[in-house]
Amino acid sequence: MLRRIQEWDTRMLHRIAARHTKRLDRIMVLVTRTGNNGYIWFLISIPMLFLNRYRAVGYTGILAMLISAIAGEVTIKHIVARVRPCSEEYGQELLIKHPAHYSFPSGHTSASFSMTAVMFFMLPILFIPVLIYACMMGLSRIYLLVHYPSDVIAGVVLGSICGTVAVSVYPYIPFFPLL
């Protein structure tokens, strides 16, 4: 089964590598950079901490990303220890710096979908734009050859679970408001 997944991942990467354009290169690099260290999601969450109406959403978003980082980056990546596709040859020059850590699951994607889950439950008006951007984030990771498609799919699942858990446990965690 793992061999079949790897074959599918490799086929998909070859197809994507054949469709690179200069315009898409620029877009995907920009999207992926906004996801570095969760920048885009902190940029959304932190201002919410200063608005009474959205404070719980801001805290829950940060909590979701924290849970996602612990589960994915600290735990699962080191257990699975999957080598990134950019370490193999796909006939493309890497457009971003070679990531230092393992590939499975995609941290950019799991952070994005943890925030997507928070928005789904707590601020539905932002759900669709956040979902679109989260999908672009996952696609950018595949396009840039730093993740296999199955890494991104795992990131979607992990992030959605982490976001749902954060929404579920947030009411029981005593936070001290910043303001």
Q: Give residue 161's pLDDT.
A: 97
Q: Give residue 58's pLDDT.
A: 93
- The whole-angstrom separation of Cα 107 and Cα 156 is 10
Give the residue, 117 or 78, on which the prediction is more confident.
117
User: Each residue of 24-72: pLDDT tens digit?
Assistant: 989 999 999 998 988 999 999 999 999 889 999 999 999 999 999 999 9
Q: Give residue 6's pLDDT.
A: 84
Q: Give residue 151's pLDDT.
A: 93
User: Each residue of 145-167: pLDDT tens digit?
Assistant: 888 899 999 999 999 999 999 99
- Judge whether 147 and 84 are in contact, CB under 8 Å: yes
Percentage of the residues of the chain whose pLDDT score is greater than 90: 57
Q: Which of 26, 45, 55 is nearest to 130 (CA)?
A: 45
- The whole-angstrom separation of Cα 130 and Cα 166 is 17
**Model confidence band, residue 179 (pLDDT cutoffs 50, 70, 90):** very low
User: Could you tell me the two tokens for 91?
Assistant: 């006939």
Q: Give residue 172's pLDDT.
A: 82
Task: Calculate the alpha carbon distances from 160 to 44, 48, 65, 141 in Å.
Answer: 18, 21, 10, 18
* Across 97-101, 109-113, 140-144, least confident range: 97-101
